[in-house]
């Protein structure tokens, strides 16, 4: 059946079962239970605690996912993204549980594996309560199958059910599942004790049930006669609860009060206390056996009045008194809240929840999960301190859950929600109260960010001593903002310089992207960036824009050839320690882009009006110009006194780049090394890198021999904090 085109009268449960049946039929789970029967059982349990049909449908899709190649994708197309997310998270949680159970056999690491599993379960549950409801129902169905089939239940599964799942159901107030999980786990973990108590109860069952029914009917009639409309029920007997009371209070079986127990359900709180008053007048209350959980609810939200009275036969009887709403919560717990949400405007069990009520219910769920984790951690004897403190969970004003690093601040929260919100964050409220931006958040708080319409972060946020940011992810985003700001300023500076040059040259009509492309850059901004950083000479743009010099006439070429024949290479004139081969009396200048110095391999390029520019042969600019105008390249070589290093020998400016950590006194140490080697430093420029954790220092050093400079740079690289020292 095509689940997308199924008739509207088909319920979600029927659609999901029809989808899953061909996949699950004949398949067995790792326990040996039939997969389709297990899904049927889980759906029935969920229906029993009041879960909406959509939740029951999910029980089939989760198990069908094990037999699909791309379960999330297929379920998403057939049923929607909400179901696909549920399938993904539940499958992942099952894998975590299975791995954790297997890890218990390693001995010493058992507790560590257990506590880590609990933390991961908490994370999954806090995002989607449907996951925990499915896992609780699935575990209960598994234990039911072991009991019904008389198949031995693995001790790890029974222990996990008693130590993890039953306390979780208790914290969430899902009593129906909690009691049955405890009883079945008790049956598998302590079979002899279980049989002993079960047999003792069974021997007197008929007598006890007759007595309880007589008291129940009489109590309901008496309350009605006094104007209190009440539903009086006999309470089921839970073996594990009886066992714990016997153990905790060292009582014999017949002394456990709730062997004979009734529950009184009335309309409102006033009638609860009215019923209690009449009950204490009619029967004799047992001292120290009264608890008012209405005035002071249990941590998981449970409310009821508990009392123990002596019946007409003189035997004790426990009575619980509560309203219908309290009873609904006691039976189904947060499952009822989730059902309200899924039912929406149609309501659930006669109750229609507002958006605010749904939000409050979600917050209550998270707080109970956090409390459950604390309960568990307190019992983990070998757990290391802080093992539970690495994450916190807080709410947006819309009650969405945000996971943060422990110690996170409102600014960390803002960046976790959205980068732009973090940049514009200017203030924060915790649970409605204004707080400083470096306040540390706590589990379960509602965080509201006050943001400017535009703007960016403050540099103070990067000061670790001020405590504005605890998350490395947030710090990275703040640094990126400032790096982008610096880059924008550099690009703007470069654009201004290029545009002024174009105005001087009368070339304002040229497209900037075309200009950048002709110079070998991928975009105009890339060109502006290197110009703004003084890493690319505007002279290169001038050379590109100006038309080539007119070709010399035949007479001039003839004169040059005659000059070459008469003088040869020996007839060249030295200029600045450079010989221009074959041409007399030409002006030479050393290019600033590559700063050549002997004994570098060099080449010459005939410029317009400024003689021959001397470049290092490996210079990128020189290669590009030579490629565009090879006829203007001319052979050059160093003069005889260049690079000799003697007294009065010429020196050459060379650019050096030093990358180092940002430590005080480092530049002084570098300069001392250069001074010791008698190298004169004519210019220094220091700038921080994008990470703000390293520094680039540009030095201009006057040298007679670049070969000796390489040796000195190796000494500079040995200075503490220097990462590299190289010629530019």
12-16 average pLDDT score: 90
Show the tokens assigned to 442.
């706590």
Does the pLDDT at position 379 exceed 70? no
CATH of 200-332, one of 3.10.129.10, 3.30.460.10, 3.40.640.10, 3.40.50.720: 3.30.460.10
Indicate the pLDDT class of residue 661, thresholds 50, 70 and 90: confident
pLDDT at 19: 92
Contacts of 183 (CB under 8 A, 6+ apart): 238, 239, 240
Nearest in space to 164 (alpha carbons), one of 372, 378, 365, 382: 372
Cα–Cα distance for residue pair 565/584, rounded to 1 Å: 12
- Mean pLDDT along residues 140-166: 89
**DSSP per-residue codes, 578-615:** EEETT-SS--EEE-TTT---TTS-EEEEE-SSS-EEEE
What is the edge-to-edge ordering of all strands in the sheet holding 636-638?
574-575, 578-580, 636-638
Chain centroid to Cα 620, Å, comes to 44
pLDDT of 665 > 60? The answer is: yes
The boundaries of every CATH 3.10.20.30 domain in the chain are 391-470
Predicted pLDDT of residue 205: 61
Share of the chain above pLDDT 90, in %: 18
pLDDT tens per residue, range 531-555: 888 878 888 888 787 765 555 544 4
Q: Report the phi/psi class of residue 506: left, alpha or beta, with left for phi > 0 and alpha for psi in -120 to 50.
A: left
Indicate the DSSP class of residue 441.
P
Q: Confirm if 666 and 660 have CB atoms less than 8 A apart.
A: yes
Between CA 544 and CA 537 the distance in angstroms is 12
Helix 53-64, helix 35-48: angle, nearest 10: 160
Measured CA to CA, the distance from residue 50 to residue 340 in angstroms comes to 10
Instruction: Provide the pLDDT confidence category of residue 207 given band limits of 50, 70 and 90.
Output: low
Cα(632)–Cα(557) distance, rounded to whole angstroms?
Answer: 14
Least confident of 48-52, 390-394, 629-633, 704-708: 390-394
CATH 3.30.70.260 placement within the chain: 652-727
Query: CA-to-CA distance for 602 and 622, rounded, in angstroms?
Result: 10
Q: For residues 60-75, give the mean pLDDT.
A: 87
Average pLDDT of 64-72? Answer: 86
**pLDDT above 50: residue 284:** yes
Q: Is the pLDDT of residue 6 over 60?
A: no
Rounded to whole angstroms, the Cα distance separating 301 from 154 reads 33
Q: What are 454-470's pLDDT values in tens digits?
A: 889 998 998 888 999 98
Asked if 691 and 661 count as a contact pair (C-beta separation under 8 A), the reply is no
- Please say whether the beta carbons of 649 and 663 come within 8 A: no
User: How far apart (Å, rounded) are the C-alpha atoms in residues 221 and 14?
Assistant: 44
Q: What is the mean pLDDT of residues 562-580?
A: 47
CB 404 within 8 A of CB 150: no
Give 152's pLDDT tier (boundaries 50, 70, 90). very high
> Burial level of 201, CB count in 10 A (0-12/13-18/19+)?
middle
Domain 391-470 top-level CATH class: alpha beta
pLDDT at 2 exceeding the cut of 90: no
DSSP string over 660-684: EE--TTHHHHHHHHHHHTTPEEEEE
pLDDT at 116 (0 to 100): 55
Greatest alpha-carbon pair distance for the chain in Å reads: 142
Instruction: Give the range among 12-21, 88-97, 365-374, 645-654 with minimum mean pLDDT.
Output: 365-374
Which one-letter DSSP state was computed for residue 66?
G
CA atoms of 354 and 700, how far apart (whole Å): 72
What are 602-624's pLDDT values in tens digits? 898 888 777 888 898 888 888 88
- The chain-wide mean pLDDT, for the chain, equals 78
pLDDT confidence bin for 181, thresholds 50/70/90: very high
Count the Cβ atoms, other than its own, within 10 Å of residue 585.
Answer: 9
Determine the average pLDDT of the residues in 268-297.
90
Going along 498-597, which residue ranges are E strands? 574-575, 578-580, 588-590
Q: Is the pTM of this model over 0.75?
A: no
Within the chain, all domains assigned CATH 3.30.460.10 are found at: 200-332
Among 439, 380, 367, 369, smallest CA distance to 407 is for: 439
> Using an 8 Å Cβ cutoff, are 27 and 67 in contact?
yes
pLDDT at 276 over 90: yes
Distances (CA, A) of 447 to 158, 397, 443, 524, 615: 40, 7, 11, 43, 62
Question: Are residues 412 and 471 in contact, defined by beta-carbon separation less than 8 angstroms?
Answer: yes
How distant, in Å, are the alpha carbons of 344, 386, 387, 446, 506 from that of 440? 35, 16, 19, 13, 60
- pLDDT number for residue 575: 42
Sequence-ordered list of residues with C-beta below 8 angstroms from that of 9, at least 6 positions apart, any chain: none
Compute the distance between CA of residue 339 and CA of residue 326 in angstroms, rounded to an integer. Answer: 16
**Could you tell me which residues come within 8 angstroms of residue 197 by beta carbon, excluding any fewer than 6 positions away?**
239, 242, 243, 246, 253
The token duo for 626 is: 């030579």
User: What's the pLDDT score for residue 384?
Assistant: 39
Tell me the range of 299-303, 372-376, 522-526 where mean pLDDT is highest: 522-526
Specify the CATH architecture of the domain 12-174. Orthogonal Bundle (1.10)
Q: Taking 70 as the threshold, does the pLDDT of residue 134 lie above it?
A: yes
Q: Are strands 694-703 and 680-688 parallel, antiparallel or unpaired?
A: antiparallel
> Is residue 629 predicted with pLDDT exceeding 80?
yes
Paired strand residues for 411: none
pLDDT for res 349: 34
Residues, the chain: 728
Q: Domain spanning 652-727 has what CATH number?
A: 3.30.70.260
**3-class secondary-structure state, position 351:** strand
């Amino acid at each position: 059946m095509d689940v997308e085109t199924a008739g509207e009268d088909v319920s979600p449960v029927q659609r999901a079962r029809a989808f899953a049946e061909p996949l699950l039929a004949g398949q067995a789970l790792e326990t040996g239970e039939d997969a389709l029967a297990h899904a049927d059982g889980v759906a029935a349990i969920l229906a029993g605690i009041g879960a909406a049909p959509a939740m029951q449908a999910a029980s089939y899709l989760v198990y069908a996912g094990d037999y699909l190649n791309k379960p999330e994708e297929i379920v998403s197309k057939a049923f929607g993204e909400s179901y696909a997310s549920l399938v993904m998270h539940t499958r992942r949680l099952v894998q975590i549980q299975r791995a954790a159970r297997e890890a218990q056999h390693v001995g010493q690491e058992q507790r560590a594996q257990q506590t880590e599993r609990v933390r991961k379960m908490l994370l999954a549950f806090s995002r989607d309560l449907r996951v925990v409801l499915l896992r609780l129902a699935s575990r209960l169905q598994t234990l039911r199958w072991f009991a019904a089939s008389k198949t031995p239940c693995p001790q790890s599964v029974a222990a996990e059910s008693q130590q993890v799942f039953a306390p979780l159901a208790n914290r969430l107030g899902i009593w129906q599942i909690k009691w049955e999980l405890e009883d079945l786990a008790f049956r598998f973990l302590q079979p002899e004790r279980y049989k002993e108590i079960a047999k003792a109860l069974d021997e007197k069952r008929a007598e006890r049930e007759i007595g309880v029914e007589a008291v129940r009917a009489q109590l309901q009639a008496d309350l009605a006669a006094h104007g209190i409309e009440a539903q009086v029920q006999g309470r089921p007997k839970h073996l594990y609860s009886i066992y714990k009371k016997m153990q905790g209070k060292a009582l014999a079986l017949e002394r456990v009060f709730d062997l004979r127990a009734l529950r009184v359900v009335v309309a409102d709180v006033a009638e609860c206390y009215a019923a209690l008053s009449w009950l204490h007048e009619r029967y004799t209350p047992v001292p120290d056996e009264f608890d008012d959980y209405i005035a002071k609810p249990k941590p998981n939200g449970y409310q009821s009045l508990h009392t123990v009275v002596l019946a007409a036969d003189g035997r004790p009887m426990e009575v619980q008194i509560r309203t219908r709403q309290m009873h609904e919560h006691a039976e189904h717990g947060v499952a009822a809240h989730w059902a309200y949400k899924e039912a929406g405007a149609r309501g659930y069990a006669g109750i229609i929840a507002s958006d605010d009520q749904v939000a409050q219910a979600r917050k209550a769920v998270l707080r109970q999960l956090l409390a459950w984790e604390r309960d568990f951690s307190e019992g983990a004897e070998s757990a290391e301190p802080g093992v539970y403190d690495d994450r916190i969970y807080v709410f947006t004003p819309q009650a969405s859950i945000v996971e943060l690093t422990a110690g996170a601040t409102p600014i960390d929260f803002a960046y976790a929600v959205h980068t732009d919100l973090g940049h514009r964050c200017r203030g924060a409220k915790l649970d409605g109260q204004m707080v400083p931006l470096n306040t540390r958040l706590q589990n379960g708080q509602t965080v509201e960010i006050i943001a400017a319409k535009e703007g960016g972060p403050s540099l103070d946020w990067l000061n670790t001593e001020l405590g504005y940011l605890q998350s490395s992810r947030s710090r990275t985003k703040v640094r990126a903002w400032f790096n982008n700001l610096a880059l924008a300023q550099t690009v703007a500076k470069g654009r201004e310089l290029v545009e002024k040059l174009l105005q001087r040259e009368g070339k304002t009509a040229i497209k900037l992207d075309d200009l950048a492309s002709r110079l070998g850059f991928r975009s105009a901004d890339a060109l502006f960036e290197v110009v703004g950083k003084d890493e690319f000479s505007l002279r290169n743009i001038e050379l590109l824009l100006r038309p080539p010099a007119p070709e010399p006439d035949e007479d001039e070429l003839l004169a040059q050839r005659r000059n070459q024949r008469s003088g040869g290479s020996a007839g060249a004139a030295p200029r600045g320690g450079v010989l221009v081969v074959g041409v007399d009396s030409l002006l030479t200048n050393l290019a600033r882009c590559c700063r050549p110095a002997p004994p570098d391999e060099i080449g010459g390029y005939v410029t317009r009006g400024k003689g021959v520019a001397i470049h290092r042969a490996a210079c990128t600019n020189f290669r590009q110009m030579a490629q565009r105008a090879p006829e203007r390249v001319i052979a050059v070589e160093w003069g005889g006194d260049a690079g000799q290093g003697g007294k009065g020998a010429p020196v050459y400016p060379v650019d050096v780049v030093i990358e180092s950590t940002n430590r005080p006194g480092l530049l002084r140490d570098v300069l001392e090394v250069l001074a010791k080697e008698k190298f004169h430093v004519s210019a220094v420029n220091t700038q921080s890198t994008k990470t703000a954790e390293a520094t680039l220092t540009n030095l201009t050093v006057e040298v007679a021999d670049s070969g000796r400079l390489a040796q000195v740079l190796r000494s500079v690289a040995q200075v503490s904090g220097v990462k590299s020292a190289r010629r530019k």
